[in-house]
Structure 1
Amino acid sequence: MTIVAAADGSALGNPGPAGWAWYVDETCWRAGGWPHGTNNMGELMAVLDLFKSTEHVADEPLHILCDSQYVINAVTKWMPGWKRKGWRKADGKPVLNLELLKDIDAAIAGRKYTFEWVKGHAGHDLNEAADDRARDAATAYQAKRTPNAGPGFPCSGLSSSSQSSPSQPNTAQPNADPAGAAPGGSTPVDIAQPELFSMSDDDPVLSASRDDSLEAVVELERELLDPAVRADPLRAAELLHSDFEEIGASGRRWSRQEVLAMISDETVAEHSLEVLTLDRIDDSTALLTYRSDAPRGSALRSSIWKFVHGRWQVRFHQGTPEA
């Protein structure tokens, strides 16, 4: 019998107090977190803990509902290449969230599992339940109290006393381990929505979500602010329209090729995003204005997104540091 569970993460401030959770039903869920972490750390930890919590029923297929394309792509597409390169990206830089990814790589060996992308904050019962518990855990750490860890998985090897969150992973990037092969005996992953993650016939990048709602634009803009996404040339290229242009704070105009080359070499901190306006200009165009906040200061930004060939891509972007 297939185990169906949603996995989600939350970070207040991103980075900030962080939580994670997986959820099967009211009698079977688990949550935890850290005083300081990121959304991606929470998403990865939820998936990792779900695999660990179901080790005693490893013969049962695991179907994971996840609203993070970063996590799905990292686990199902990017890890084999990272391992071949000694856990380094195509540009030679260390992979982010390395310890969590290595632990996931070990946990999935020999397991039967599938991932299904679900849209976050869209009323999906399991996803909403996992999101609520991840956010509650992050809120608990913000208030300096112990979060509700949940009942866990029945008959799991994790005792009730271990239901609190594991230690916060070390997010520093140590020297890479020697290159390794794909985990022996693991079952090839079946992606429930191949149009999201398979290669497009007419574009040498991964195809994106076919969700034409305005809320999808905000989630994709958040991806563009994510250092892990910006450091991945395949995903970054996927999000930029073929005619993309950007006008920087200096007044310089940047082409798509220049932006892709620049962001692959930059070192950036996590940004938060506060939506100011979100409007549909016409059937295939959306205008998003927002405030981004990072350690070096805040900025006011605007992006024009176009819905073409069944996906949103950013056509134009401009940002100005806020006084």
Structure 2
Amino acid sequence: MTIVAAADGSALGNPGPAGWAWYVDDNCWRAGGWPHGTNNMGELMAVLDLFRSTAHLPEEPLHILCDSQYVINSVTKWMPGWKRKGWRKSDGKPVLNVDLLKDIDAAIAGRKYTFEWVKGHAGHDLNEAADDRARGAATAYQAKRSPNAGPGFPGAKVDAEQAPDAAKNHSETSGTPAMAAAAAPVQTALLLDELEQPDLFSMLEDEVDPAFADHRPDSLETVVELERELLDPAVRADPLRAGELLHPNFEEIGVSGQRRSRQEILEMFTDEEPASIDLEVLSLSQLDAETALLTYRSVSPDGSALRSSLWQRHNGQWRLRHHQGTKEA
């Protein structure tokens, strides 16, 4: 029988007192944390502890509900490439949270699992329960008390190997020692004076998903293909691919009249509800060797809008430089 669980992390101040939790039901959940950590560390630790807590049931598939695209992409998409590069990114810098990721890589070996992204703070019962317990653990560490560890998973064994001591460091930022991200809920951790929450979107240029082949760079029709791809809910939910399609200096003036930066758009993509959007091309013209202008009508459940997209070549690839939309009367 498939085990369905939500995993979540929390950090007060980010970085600050941090917590993690996974939740199946009120009789099966577990939480822990540290005096100082980040949200991403909590998200990863929740997933790691869930795998460890169900290690005695290796034949049972895990279905993990997670509101962190960073965790889902790290485990399901980026880790194989990082491992091939010696746990380094394409720029040669060490991967963030490398010890936690290595532990997850070991824990998932031979396991059957799937991840499902759920929108955080949107009333999903399991996600809300995990979030409450992760935040409760972070709040406990803020108050300098032990958090409620929960009942755990029936039959689970947490031994010394699963609960490394404070000498085992997990690094959130390259070159900076971090505290132990121990599986034991009340594990004492090393305090840091400097620990930064990594910007997920700073990673977007590092690891290109091999599933996305390059489009024909010399074809103007490629611009329409790329625009359609950017409207695809699956692509918009994938910050790695969406980031590849947006120019580093991208900006948008949306149908609401609000001006948004590249990072603001990527953050908006990860939070929006999936919806199908149809595209009707109105015009496509090449302004110069490096620039193309596409105008089109978009049709979605929210209505139709007239849109213009300015695409520019960047490092040999078409990327969206500017977008503007106006609701159609």
TM-score (norm 2): 0.58
Output one character per residue of 1:186-217: Cα deviation in whole Å (capped at 9) or x when no partner. Answer: xxxxxxxxxxx97498449x969849xxxx9x
Q: Displacement, 1:158? A: 2.4
8 Å CA contact 2:226, 2:245 repeated in 1? no
Find the residue that maps to 1:65 and give its secondary structure: strand
User: Residue in 2 aligned with 1:39?
Assistant: 39
The 5-angstrom pairing of residues 155-304 of structure 1 reads: 155-158=155-158, 167=166, 169-171=169-171, 173=174, 199=212, 202-203=225-226, 210=233, 234=240, 237-238=243-244, 240=246, 244-245=250-251, 282=255, 286-287=258-259
Tell me the distance in 2 between the aligned counterparts of 1:64 and 1:126: 10
Cα distance change, pair 97–209 in 1 and its aligned pair in 2 (3 A): farther
Shift of 1:241: 5.6
Between the aligned partners of 1:46 and 1:142, the Cα distance in structure 2 is 19
Deviation at 1:136, TM superposition (A): 0.4
C-alpha deviation, 1:287, in angstroms? 4.9
Matched residue SS, 1:149: coil
**Structure 2 CA distance for aligned equivalents of residues 208 and 27 of structure 1:** 42
Aligned residues between the structures: 229
**Correspondence for 1:17:** 17
Shift of 1:303: 5.3
Secondary structure in structure 2 of the residue aligned to 1:57: coil
In 1, Cα distance between the equivalents of 2:321 and 2:164?
38
Alpha-carbon deviation of 1:236? Answer: 7.5
2:136 matched residue in structure 1: 136
Counterpart CA distance in 2 for 1:208 and 1:103 is 36
Change (3 A) 1:110 1:163: closer
Kindly provide the amino acid, as one letter, of the partner of residue 155 in structure 2: C
Structure 2 CA distance for aligned equivalents of residues 36 and 55 of structure 1 = 28
Residue of structure 2 in register with 1:194 after alignment: none
Structure 1 length as normaliser, TM-score?
0.59
CA distance in 1, matches of 2:212, 2:22: 29
Deviating beyond 3 angstroms after TM superposition, the runs of 4 or more aligned structure 1 residues are 161-169, 197-204, 206-211, 238-243, 285-289, 302-311, 313-316
Quick one: structure 1 residues 92 and 151, their matched pair in 2 at CA, closer, same or farther if it must change by over 3 Å? same
Preserved contact between residue 249 and residue 321 of structure 2 (Cα < 8 Å): no
Counterpart of 2:187 in structure 1 is: none
- Displacement of 1:77 after TM fit? 0.5
Q: Give the match for residue 105 of structure 1.
A: 105
Tell whether the 8 Å contact from 2:251 to 2:260 is kept in structure 1 after alignment: no
1:30 deviates by 0.1
2:63 counterpart of 1:63? yes
Identity %: 68
Describe the shift of the 1:69–1:198 C-alpha distance in structure 2 as closer, same or farther (beyond 3 A): farther
AA matched with 1:19: G
Partner of 1:52: 52
**Structure 2 vs 1, CA of residues 243 and 144 (structure 1 numbering), >3 Å: closer, same or farther?**
closer
Greater Rg, structure 1 or structure 2?
A: 2
Q: Name 1:91's counterpart in structure 2.
A: 91
Measured after TM superposition, the shift of residue 314 of structure 1 is 9.8
Per-residue CA deviations over 1:260-314 (Å, capped at 9, x if unaligned) read xxxxxxxxxxxxxxxxxxxx9636x64579xxxxxxxxxxxx9578989869x99
Give the direction of change, closer, same or farther, for the CA distance of 1:169–1:286 in structure 2 (3 Å limit).
farther
Please say if residues 19 and 31 of structure 1, whose CA atoms lie closer than 8 Å, have aligned partners that are also in contact.
Answer: yes
Q: Deviations over 1:132-171 (max 9, x none)?
A: 0000000000110000000000011127x99999758431
C-alpha contact 1:121 1:128 (8 A) present in aligned 2: yes
Which 5+ residue runs of structure 2 have no aligned equivalent? 176-209, 216-224, 270-274, 278-299, 301-319, 324-329
TM-aligned CA distance change 1:95 to 1:208, over 3 Å: farther
